[in-house]
Amino acid sequence: MSEIGSKPDKFDFYIKLMDVCLSNSEELLRNAITLRKNSSFGPAYSLAVLGFEELSKYWFTFGLFIGIYQESDEEVSLLQTNHIYKQHLGWQTLSNYILAEWLEQTIYKSEFEELWTKLSTKELSAKAYQRKFNELLKIDSESSNLAKAVLDLDDIIRKLKNDPKIMDSRRNQGFYVEFDLTKREITSTPDSFIYEHTIFIDTFDFFLNFSKDYFLELKGNLKRRKVQETISNFRKAFDLIRSILEKHETGSTDIL
């Protein structure tokens, strides 16, 4: 902990920042839900997107906390200025956690572990591994809601890769009147949104509640020695990975 009047310890600050980002995300979601109940679907969607971006800030800060990112990384600037980066980060983070949850619960867990072993021993190529993994995922989606969610999120991320601005464009459409002077045409207005366009709000609501539960558990256990050791090991591991990558990028072959 830092002394009174001194600059806060960075890890204490990360915890505070995560807390504030979650609170703001929750407030934006609450307002979005109220607007949707009052049939103001465009602004409801747009506010939800902004709340989703705040949730991305939370998860990025968690990445700083455990050492995935460093404050000198370019992503820090993107997180503060680039809406599209925050939107993509949010979807990718949600996808990663849903996938991890599915891998823990799926009836095909042993088959996946076997695939992973074959990939690790180079018995399978990365391409063959991905193909077989997707086959298991699609089979399980016939009975597992988690598997269906993984596939749905993969589809969303593919759409974002094909059209990175799609979500940001919809956010603007929910707030603003857009027009084309050369054609004397009003191209979109917030009241052109319908209820179905706001289904995203329900996904955001789920992700926020998951994130809040995760954060409360983290805060409640920070003083436990086992948790502190785990976080410390995470930071050491990510520092090592970063060091290896930096040496590799500068052309050094001595990376062990």
Tell me whether residue 167 is in a domain. yes
Residue 215, in any domain of the structure: yes
Question: Domain for residue 180, yes or no?
Answer: yes
Strands 185-188 and 178-180: antiparallel
250 belongs to a structural domain: no
Q: Using CA atoms, how far apart are residues 37 and 200, in angstroms rounded to an integer? A: 15
Record the pTM. Answer: 0.83
* 249 found inside a domain: no
pLDDT per position as a tens digit, 3-32 = 445 566 888 999 999 999 999 999 999 999
Predicted confidence at residue 245, as pLDDT, reads 53
Confidence at 119, pLDDT banded by 50, 70, 90: confident
pLDDT digits (tens, 9 = 90+) for 47-65: 999 999 999 999 999 999 9
Taking residues 134-151, report their average pLDDT. 92
Residue 70 within a domain: yes
Q: Give the residue ranges of DSSP H helices in the chain.
A: 10-37, 41-66, 74-81, 83-105, 109-120, 126-140, 145-162, 166-175, 200-221, 225-249
193 within a domain of the structure (yes/no): yes
Q: What's the mean pLDDT when you consider all of the chain?
A: 87
**Rounded Cα distance, 51 and 171, in Å:** 11
Kindly report, residue by residue over 169-206, the tens digit of the pLDDT: 999 999 999 999 999 999 989 998 999 999 999 999 99
Structural domain of residue 59, as residue ranges? 10-106+144-222
Q: How many domains does the chain contain in total?
A: 1
Q: Would you say residue 40 lies in a domain? A: yes
